Amino acid sequence: MKSVLAARIGSLNSGPARPPRPGLVRAIALCLLAAVAGCTNEIVWKDVQPLPGSAPPPPSLPPGVAGGGPVYENPLLVPTTDHEYVWETVADVVDDYFRIKEEQPVRLVGQVMTEGRLETFPEVGSTVFEPWRRDSVGRQARIESTLQSIRRRATVRVVPDKQGYLIDVAVYKELEDVDHPDHATAGQATFRNDASLTRVVDSLGEQDTNQGWIPRGRDPALEQRMLSEILARAGSTPGYR
């Protein structure tokens, strides 16, 4: 009996390996796709209805972005008279996406209301592995930031108006300009002919923060997201100009 069992076990072990079950492979692939899709977040619009006759979606917006909510004019009119509250709201929204570099709040000098301006440090774009960050709007932008070195910076202007304050949000996107691709096969001793010798004239002066980065224009999707949050916090009625 033992010899018969040993012969059967040996025949099973010596046989060809069983292929993986198609259902198990399919389930694992679906789980991976769901995990990758769950790491991306689409634009979240506030529960604010646009006024009749609002502007059509700008052609620069990515496909599908304008379908989830209203499209706001940029600059956007916020109908309020409290300049301190408007500025604190703008700074609070911008701080959720960028580190603030410089602030010039709106001030009342005599009988004249000055213009406010806010600038931020460049911020590296969020990837698919950072779902808690929301500066990359849409799956395409998040995948691009994962595969490329993308960074963004913002400039916000708060301009006094007769009906309130105009909020102008400008987000600029830049692509890193590297000398050569990572893991390139060319050796370190290879001579370069794509750039001349860089001579430092004043090493103590202000350095160009944009050196080594290629401008890619503005990011209207992130601008719309920030405007929607500013409007939802600063006022309940959207205004257009």
The pLDDT profile of the chain, 241 residues, written as one tens digit per residue, is 555 555 555 555 555 555 556 666 666 766 665 555 444 444 443 434 444 434 444 544 544 444 456 788 888 998 888 889 999 999 999 999 999 999 999 988 888 888 999 999 999 999 999 889 888 998 898 998 899 889 999 999 999 988 889 999 999 999 988 766 666 666 555 655 555 555 555 555 555 555 688 899 999 999 999 999 998 888 654 443 3
DSSP run (H or E) holding 116: strand 116-120
Buried b (16+ CB within 10 A) or exposed e, 194-210: eeeeeeeeeeeeeeeee
Q: Which of 111, 125, 116 is nearest to 89 (CA)?
A: 116
Q: Is residue 218 part of a domain?
A: yes
Give the domain extent around 174: 26-46+63-179+212-241
- The residues near 117 (Cβ < 8 Å, ≥ 6 apart) are 102, 103, 104, 155, 156, 157, 158
Q: Is residue 137 part of a domain?
A: yes
pTM for the full model?
0.62
Residue with tokens 């779902």, as numbered in its chain: 131
Q: Which of 115, 17, 228, 195 is nearest to 103 (CA)?
A: 115
Q: Is residue 3 part of a domain?
A: no
- Rounded CA separation 142/176 (Å): 16
Q: How many domains does the chain have?
A: 1
Q: Is residue 143 part of a domain?
A: yes
Using DSSP's 3-state secondary structure scheme, residue 76 falls into strand
Q: Is residue 187 part of a domain?
A: no
**Do the Cβ atoms of 100 and 154 come closer than 8 Å?**
no
